[in-house]
Structure 1
Amino acid sequence: MANTETTPLIAIEGLYQIFGDDAAKVLPKVKAGASKEDILAETGHTVGLQDINLTVERGEIFVIMGLSGSGKSTLIRHFNRLIDPTAGEIKVEGHDIMTLSLKELTEFRRHKMSMVFQHFGLMPHRTVIENVGYGLAIKGMKRPEWEPKAIEWLQTVGLAGYEEQYPSQLSGGQQQRVGLARALCTDAEILLMDEAFSALDPLIRFEMQTQLIDLQENLHKTIIFITHDLDEALRLGDRIAVLKDGKLVQVGKPVDIILNPADEYVRAFAKDVNRAKALRVKNIMAEAVNLCEGDTLGAVRSQISDPEQPIIWLQQGVYRGVLPVSALAGNDESAINEADLLTTAALPHKAALQAALPVMLSEHHSLPVLNKENKVVGLLSHEALASALTVPEV
């Protein structure tokens, strides 16, 4: 039995996909390093994926991105075996799903993974409520059982009152919300989203991204999200995998893709990104070392570990402000008051750098970074901010 505490939720190992009548015979040539173009010219076979190795952790949004023809949509269809690989393993919770029987695979698709398609995939002859509840209906649930749940998910995605409408009566954004509600209604742990928002106009697309982010805050689903848009990948992804010509070029957090591109292909993607919008304070913050608790200057003075770093004053774990080194000179043991502070300003850890920039420009020292519980989780310096916003010459 796999240890689910340490085993990635999904692991793909040595995955190859070759399209053609004799893929197994062509596989050794691909493994030996023959190019995609040479394989096509010599054998008439198309190499879709080459030696893909990646893991997806439970509860993360894992984005797979690349240009058209990079293999990203081919790859996502391997997660639920809509396409079987030419070679390789696909493991979910440590179990190789290539060993599943047809019956087991059907159950796996019904209960473990749901898919949201680019062009909605709604059934035009069924009402909105029937579309949302369809996944539960085919599991054998009766309408009185699944309908309350479908209504709840429609409310969640902002479509309360549309239950008896038909897809043709909805806008594109509304149709995609129905598709999302249908996927969520099955309670599947894993959502596969293939270019789910790319058919929407920019404003609706942004709204859908925001809704997905907000939903994920509470649902903690594992989401595999396909896109060709780096801005979308950076906004949504906890980690991003970049594909080119069926090969995995780089896997990393958004900050890795922007600040440390693996090659020219990734660098070309990243060079036009608005770093101030794409990067978050948490991506570039450093550790806060002088977290000093107490009510008096003496109590704080005794806790300073690095006099070169800002002194962050806490009371009962709550951030109160930044103290200057000068306030702690000598042996003054008096109580700390607001007049002693350099500032009480701080930055939310999820804030985009563009939101942090005016705050940083108004201060002359590093600022504490707070999480949603208002606990200090880091420190942002002007040097780190400037470095992150500087685009290197190519």
Structure 2
Amino acid sequence: MILSKVRVENLTKVFGRRTQQALDLVKEGKSKQEILEETGATVGVHDVSFNVENGEVFVIMGLSGSGKSTLIRLINRLIEPTSGEVYIDDDDVSKMSKEDLREIRRTKMNMVFQNFGLFPQRTVLENTEYGLEIRGVGKDERQQKAEEALDNSGLLSVKDQYPNQLSGGMQQRVGLARALANDPEILLMDEAFSALDPLIRRDMQDDLMDLQERVQKTIIFITHDLDEALRIGDRIALMRDGKIMQIGTGEEILTNPANNFVREFTEDIDRSKVLTAENIMEPALITNVETDGPNVALQRMRKEEVSMLLAVDRKRHLKGSLTAEEALDARKNEKTLKDVLDKNVRKIQRDTLVTDIFDMIYNSPAPLAVVDEDDRVLGVVVRGSVIGAMTDKSTDTNENGEEQEETTEQEETTEDEGVNADA
């Protein structure tokens, strides 16, 4: 049974002759520099294991010398591993013959490099056809596939130009189109955007995410830029000295760093651009307008000490909001909750970024409802949670040094307003 698209198990690479001595020193906790000084060997990657699922963008990141570029070259065996295994589907790449390895590089995975790697004497179309050409694909077929790849990348109009006529960003788009023309299942991207200017780099990140929505490739992306990793990665592996420090989503790494290195590495990141409504939402207090009457709604408000509930149907589909005043009106005038609820309640999706929520909730008198794709209520976001996420302070310390939870905006509003005592 295929467990994942790419599976790496205990992968290790030591450069130099005294391999075993270097590995023994790693086990003793020696640093990469200490091992180099003592043995002359360099530990590029040590005991790395991870899985990449089909269609996932898996980002490997770290500072210079962390081993990330060595790791990606071990996956397609541009560098031979010292030990460990790499599986593509269920095929062990680390044990393949040269002929089988060549075939899998041509058909299953392609690599996009930092320096574009375009042939200056070939046109954009001819560069894009190159991988198909060396596979022996006929001229008409390879031209058709190359043009489709260029069209997907928005480059068909420049197919007859040469690389030196294009900007750096457009040259990198050609490199990406060339990789996609072979229709590989896996794309390996080694710092593909790091040589570009910041604005062009951001455009390329947008292009990659748009392209991924259409083609759904499995992508292993190398970068030293945490902002880039957080922006494009489904999951991130953070490396240091050849080892993986933590693997997780951007939210997991920011909110639950595995160690001090990860914590320090991520401390300057603007969490409001990474955390979403799902990360900060609170349970929603609701009333079912199909079964509840005014007295039930008012009793729930009194018990929970709030002055407003979200109104839903039996399947938790959002129908609006209900205040204590509206419930009292319904009871006094013998109306149903459906007759008096406010249908203009503001709602957001679970993946809405905190930085986007702030402007919406700043002047909102009520919490925002968080709903799924079918408009079912998942929770609420209150102003206090948004401010807490943006300042990265979810707890305060009281005078005894004990942690004390913040009072949320919803609680503050409740204390000020309360529920009508006559309800």
Match of 2:359 in 1: 358
**Structure 2 residue ranges without an equivalent (≥5):** 397-423
In structure 2, C-alpha distance between the alignment counterparts of 1:78 and 1:272, rounded to whole Å: 31
In structure 2, C-alpha distance between the alignment counterparts of 1:106 and 1:305, rounded to whole Å: 67
Q: What is the CA distance between 1:319 and its match in structure 2?
A: 4.1
Q: How many residues align?
A: 386
Q: 1:130 aligns with which of 108, 113, 126?
A: 126
In structure 1, C-alpha distance between the alignment counterparts of 2:251 and 2:137, rounded to whole Å: 44
- Whether the 8 Å contact between 1:293 and 1:316 is mirrored in structure 2 is no
TM score, norm. by length of structure 1: 0.87
Match of 1:76 in 2: 72
- Whether the 8 Å contact between 1:297 and 1:333 is mirrored in structure 2 is no
1:1-394 alignment runs, 5 A limit: 2=1, 4=2, 7-24=3-20, 26-285=22-281, 290=286, 292=288, 294=290, 298=293, 308=304, 310-313=309-312, 319-324=318-323, 327-328=326-327, 334=336, 336-337=338-339, 340-341=341-342, 343-371=344-372, 376=377, 378-391=379-392
Q: What is the CA distance between 1:152 and its match in structure 2?
A: 1.9
In structure 1, C-alpha distance between the alignment counterparts of 2:106 and 2:295, rounded to whole Å: 58
- Whether the 8 Å contact between 1:39 and 1:45 is mirrored in structure 2 is yes
TM score, norm. by length of structure 2: 0.82
- Whether the 8 Å contact between 2:347 and 2:371 is mirrored in structure 1 is yes
Deviations 1:274-333 (A, max 9, x none): 222233334444566748575x8649979x999859424359986443334664568655
What RMSD over aligned residues (CA atoms) do the two structures have, in Å? 3.0
Matching residue's letter, 1:336: K
Cα distance change of structure 1 residues 283 and 185 upon mapping to structure 2, 3 Å threshold: farther
In structure 1, C-alpha distance between the alignment counterparts of 2:378 and 2:215, rounded to whole Å: 24
**Structure 1 residue ranges without an equivalent (≥5):** none
In structure 2, C-alpha distance between the alignment counterparts of 1:364 and 1:20, rounded to whole Å: 66
- Whether the 8 Å contact between 2:310 and 2:322 is mirrored in structure 1 is yes
Deviations 1:66-116 (A, max 9, x none): 111111111111111111211111122233211211111111111111111
Moved more, 260-269 or 67-76: 260-269
Cα distance change of structure 1 residues 368 and 41 upon mapping to structure 2, 3 Å threshold: same
- Whether the 8 Å contact between 1:194 and 1:227 is mirrored in structure 2 is yes
Matching residue's letter, 2:369: P
Q: What is the CA distance between 1:140 and its match in structure 2?
A: 1.6
- Whether the 8 Å contact between 1:63 and 1:239 is mirrored in structure 2 is yes
- Whether the 8 Å contact between 1:24 and 1:86 is mirrored in structure 2 is no
Identity level (%):
45
Deviations 1:24-63 (A, max 9, x none): 4543343444332222112100111122121212211111
Q: What is the CA distance between 1:249 and its match in structure 2?
A: 0.9
In structure 2, C-alpha distance between the alignment counterparts of 1:147 and 1:318, rounded to whole Å: 51
Cα distance change of structure 1 residues 106 and 286 upon mapping to structure 2, 3 Å threshold: farther
